[in-house]
Amino acid sequence: MNKIINTTRAQESTNAIERLYITMRHLFNRGFYKPMGVSGETLRNALLQLRPEIYGSIGEEKSELSGLTYVLERLPEGIEQCRYINLTSDEGYGDSHFKAIIPAKRRRDCYRIDEDQMNIVITRGRSDIYDILTHLTFLFIESEKICKRVLIEDTKKTIRDWSKLEAALETEELTQAELEVALSYTANILGRSFVEVKEMHQVFATKENPEKFLRTIYWMGKLAIEEETLGDKRIITFSPVLRERLGHHIHGDRWALTIKETLEENGILHRPIHIISANMHSVMNSLFAKKALAKEYPNSKDSLEIYEDLSKEQNNKLRAKVTAYAKKNGMISLKDTSGTNIDVQIFDTAKFGDSACCFDLPKGTSEDDKPVIFVMDYAFGEQAYETIDELLKPYEKADEKEFLNIESVSIMGKAGILEGGKGDIMIATAHIFEGTADNYPFKNELSASDFEGHGLKVLEGTMVTVLGTSLQNKNILQFFKDSTWGVIGLEMEGVHYQKAIQAASRIRKSIKEDVKVRYAYYASDNPLETGGTLASGGLGTTGVKPTYLITDKILKQLFNS
């Protein structure tokens, strides 16, 4: 007798992620697709089945507003007006008359070619493509919702609310009364309350474009309506150059070569090197801020006050003073020119002035043994493998190879936590790759006990590396949390970093086998909590304490090793 086996919601969600992943790779290899056509249907259906937390009510008839805000912050301004979206490699647009459009929350160059076309430059690998296509699929699903609510069934006519919204946007400047009338029409179009729409209008508004929200909704609906009534299809293409270059580490190779040449030029290529993946301020501030700002904070025993002030937008002069002080004491700052969008800072501890630094090396350390601290900005997903893999290779000049003396690799990142809240800390003992049984255990030089007594929750366990933070839902995350994998959080780079480190240390033998590794994450969100996802907003000053606590522990180990 056959037994019916019912799949769980977590299994269905995992299958949906796998379909998204495979479909996106297939469409990339194909070179183009129509997102609202048959080729895009698999992506739309998979995303609707998955219903990620970050996209809120994507599966419901009403429009999802928080998810829309999150997505548009990561896509170029004006993309909702473009019928043709072209993903390209770095093909020289930076040297043209086209002005780069950089999304607020993603470092990627985009170019508006004409009124109908947006080009998005991909230099950060496949993860960037998955991220963009997922967000675009959300945008198309939401635009289709607007179209269905606006078009009168079995006709090519639109409802009165749409005509009124269109007329309102022809007015150069809306009065408060006119605006509220337009918002009322929009609320009906979106299936949302007037107060929700009014609040979202304020979130979107800018000085240059006060009616940005209304225009965004209008253009989303307009293109969907024209596709439905006139057959003007929206198309996403992948340039031949991008398809040819992807996966060949072109940008990572350029990036790593520039760094090695800089190390050689400064005579420090042979020295002990400690790699830290972090932001571009916490290491510099931890090393120098207290000494650099001694006049401004003469009585400050708590460095946290200084770090919080440095993180505030209005304190440009304080930040500039710390940066100037750091450069005076041997910091080399490299702005990225390779296309990776990963800036670099190099700190030569041999050039630190007397008592200039807030950390001390053991007495008697020779000049040749004084470490070089190499700080790289955050990589994005699979880009972590490309950059670290290239960096850990020997420096080749003419027919000679010089192996780098890498002492440690430390990764400080933001991650979603599965038990806790924003600002709490996660210490990884292993990484597993979502959708596979691939696992990367390692000895972490950091432990939970290093962070006790600071008023933050500290978890120690397995981290899962996901294809994209926007592809997670509660069912999958609850499974990770409750299963024997013992997952404490999710992030996007851990597996890729560790894969490169293990390949270099254990297989290629380009760095020492006993290289020290450190992984510590602070929680940017809790995707298992309602209202706790990334779409709910940033960390603000909540992230300052864990960021500097982790940085402090890494630097103390580094200086005392």
**DSSP per-residue letters across 389-409:** HHHTSPEEETTEEE---EEEE
pLDDT at 435: 78
- CA–CA dist 62, 482 (Å, integer): 32
Count other Cβ atoms within 10 Å, centred on residue 2.
4
- CA–CA dist 52, 320 (Å, integer): 40
- CA–CA dist 246, 248 (Å, integer): 6
Q: Which amino acid is at 353?
A: G
Within the chain, all domains assigned CATH 3.40.50.1580 are found at 247-560
- CA–CA dist 218, 362 (Å, integer): 64
pLDDT at 172: 85
Contact criterion met (CB below 8 Å) for 119 and 88: yes
- CA–CA dist 527, 529 (Å, integer): 5
* pLDDT per residue as tens, the chain (561 positions): 455 555 688 888 888 888 998 999 999 999 999 999 988 999 999 999 999 888 988 999 999 999 999 999 999 999 999 999 999 999 999 899 999 999 999 989 999 999 999 999 999 889 999 999 999 999 999 999 999 999 998 888 999 999 999 999 998 889 999 999 999 999 999 999 999 999 999 999 999 999 999 999 999 999 999 999 999 999 999 999 999 998 888 999 999 999 999 999 999 999 999 999 999 999 999 999 999 999 999 877 778 999 999 999 899 999 999 999 999 999 999 999 999 999 999 999 999 988 899 999 999 899 999 999 999 999 999 999 999 999 999 999 878 899 999 999 999 999 999 998 889 999 999 999 987 889 999 999 999 999 999 999 999 999 999 988 778 888 888 888 888 888 999 999 999 999 999 999 999 999 999 999 999 999 988 888 755 565 555 555 678 999 999 999 999 999 997
92 Cβ contact partners less than 8 Å away, ≥ 6 residues apart: none
**Tokens 């069934």 belong to which residue?**
153
Q: Which amino acid is at 131?
A: D
Q: Please, what sign has the CA dihedral across residues 460, 461, 464, 465?
A: positive
- CA–CA dist 408, 276 (Å, integer): 8
Which class would CATH give 247-560? alpha beta
SS (H, E, C) 283-295: HHHHHHHHHHCCC
Which residues are 334's β-sheet partners?
344
**DSSP per-residue letters across 100-154:** EE--TTS---EEE-SSSEEEEE--S-HHHHHHHHHHHHHHHHHHHHHHHHHBPTT
